Amino acid sequence: MTAVRFAPSPTGRIHIGNARTAILNWLFALKSGGHFILRYDDTDVARSTEEFASGIAADLAWLGISPARVEWQSRRFARYREVADQLKAAGRLYPCFETADELDRRRKRQLARGAPPVYDRAALRLSAAEIGKLEAEGRKPHWRFKLDGRSIAWNDLIRGPQTIDTAGLSDPVLVREDGSYLYTLPSVIDDIDFAISHVIRGEDHVVNTAVQIEITEALGAAPPQYAHHSLLTGADGKGLSKRLGSLSVAGLRESGLEPMAVASLAALLGTSDNIHPCTDYQELAGGFALDKLSRAPARFDEAELAQLNAKLLHHLPWEAVKNRLAGATEAFWLAVRGNIAKLADAETWRLVIDGPVAPVIAAEDRDFIAAAKELLPPEPWDGSTWKTWTEAVKSATGRKGKPLFMPLRLALTGLSHGPELAQLLPLIGRDRAAARLSPG
């Protein structure tokens, strides 16, 4: 059984970059018939809040992602403690008493000598008596995982074969002096306990992977498969970090974008597939494969998202929007969808249909408009009324093409552009049309 997880820290809301990770996991789960688990990485209890967590849940719900299961790391400390004790007993987790200052000085000396700033394992050379003395002084240890220092290889489902030699890494601190956990150990334990088969996440975690594989194996488990996707940059190729506020999922939602436009862009960016709007995840999942994702940074362009949003709306069926357009009809939607960039723009066209509209009638068109008004067919009106009417106006006035159509559009809508009049006219109806065709 395939299981993936999206593991945000609820220390803030998610932005388009996190959303992309979530969407890729969601598509993978859909495609493989697996579970998508939402895991709150909230071991940092001081910075994590329930409010951010529920905000993230709302962001995912808006995106159309519904986790099969939700887990909170803050509720699993007893389990982490149990595993930490197991690693201590096996000699893989060892106490260290250096202060941050001491470590910093040591690193600087190493760098000055041209040596890599790798932790020298001085703590491993402490005798039991020395440890006893430090503890008697009231010093509390932090705990490092003793790496094997070997070549760790995995076949990354996006990046291909990867090898990292952990001999070049510092033994990672897994438990802080105050007993709190850094990200690494809880993440490994959860991936094992929740039977995560595939870890799909940003490439900023590639280096962590070697350490996580070592810890997983030290716990007697088989590592999951890994897939590290490239990170998003802005259209200018630079990191997104500065603009993340406006690119939060909540911000995209508030700006009136469609979730499937966001999902389509997030899923297709950085692939060789054409970027096109998909109306649902099933459609997106159809073309989805991790190995289509490029290793190069993917450029996120807000203008591209805006265009994709418009394109999506232009073909969106009535079913997909009817709950969000109070009082509208399918005929209205089909008439206006091709002329909107955001769903809220539909309101502009509702006002054009219902009025009041200030008809625009040029002096030289007054007689023409008056003649057209007389030729308005009787109701009921339908999609063929416009053609019947304009044919009659054409024969009576001798006008054709733009001089025929534009004055009618200007009079009926007050605008020189807009949805097909064949579709608008029956919605405007005879009474309103006649009133607008009356030169005031």
9 vs 264 by CB, closer to ligand GLU: 9
Cα–Cα distance list, 274 to 60, 124, 261, 264, 314 (Å): 25, 55, 14, 10, 18
DSSP alpha helices (H): ranges in 201-342? 206-218, 249-254, 259-268, 281-286, 302-315, 318-321, 330-336
7 vs 262 by CB, closer to ligand GLU: 7
41 vs 98 by CB, closer to ligand GLU: 41
For the CB of residue 62, give the shortest distance to ligand GLU in the complex, in Å: 19
* 258 forms part of the interface with ligand GLU (CB under 6 A): no
Burial class (CB in 10 A: 0-12, 13-18, 19+), 250: middle
Q: What angle do CA 365, 368, 373 make, to 5 degrees?
A: 120
State which of residues 4, 9, 43, 192 lies at the interface with ligand GLU (CB under 6 A): 9
* 8 forms part of the interface with ligand GLU (CB under 6 A): yes
Terminal Cα distance for the chain, rounded: 72
Using CB under 6 A, which of the segments 7-15, 162-170, 328-336, 424-432 binds ligand GLU? 7-15
For the CB of residue 156, give the shortest distance to ligand GLU in the complex, in Å: 14
β pairing state of 3-6 and 173-175: unpaired
DSSP alpha helices (H): ranges in 45-127? 50-63, 77-89, 100-112
8 vs 419 by CB, closer to ligand GLU: 8
State which of residues 79, 139, 176, 205 lies at the interface with ligand GLU (CB under 6 A): 205
* 67 forms part of the interface with ligand GLU (CB under 6 A): no
- Site track for ligand GLU across 158-187, x = CB under 6 A: -------------------------x---x
* 248 forms part of the interface with ligand GLU (CB under 6 A): no
How many residues touch ligand GLU under the rule CB under 6 A: the total is: 8
Query: Which one-letter DSSP state was computed for residue 151?
Result: E
For the CB of residue 186, give the shortest distance to ligand GLU in the complex, in Å: 9
For the CB of residue 226, give the shortest distance to ligand GLU in the complex, in Å: 10
For the CB of residue 337, give the shortest distance to ligand GLU in the complex, in Å: 37
Q: CA-to-CA distance for 410 and 268, rounded, in angstroms?
A: 41
203 vs 302 by CB, closer to ligand GLU: 203
Q: In the structure encoding, which two tokens stand for residue 221, read together? A: 């488990």
24 vs 372 by CB, closer to ligand GLU: 24
Residue 288 contacts residue 28 (beta carbons within 8 Å): yes
What's the per-residue H, E or C state across 321-377? HHHHCCCCCHHHHHHHHHHCCCHHHHHHHHHHHHCCCCCCCCHHHHHHHHHHHHCCC
* 41 forms part of the interface with ligand GLU (CB under 6 A): yes
Q: CA-to-CA distance for 216 and 208, rounded, in angstroms?
A: 12
187 vs 390 by CB, closer to ligand GLU: 187
Residues written for the chain: 440
Query: For binding to ligand GLU (CB under 6 A), which residues are involved?
Result: 7-9, 41, 183, 187, 201, 205
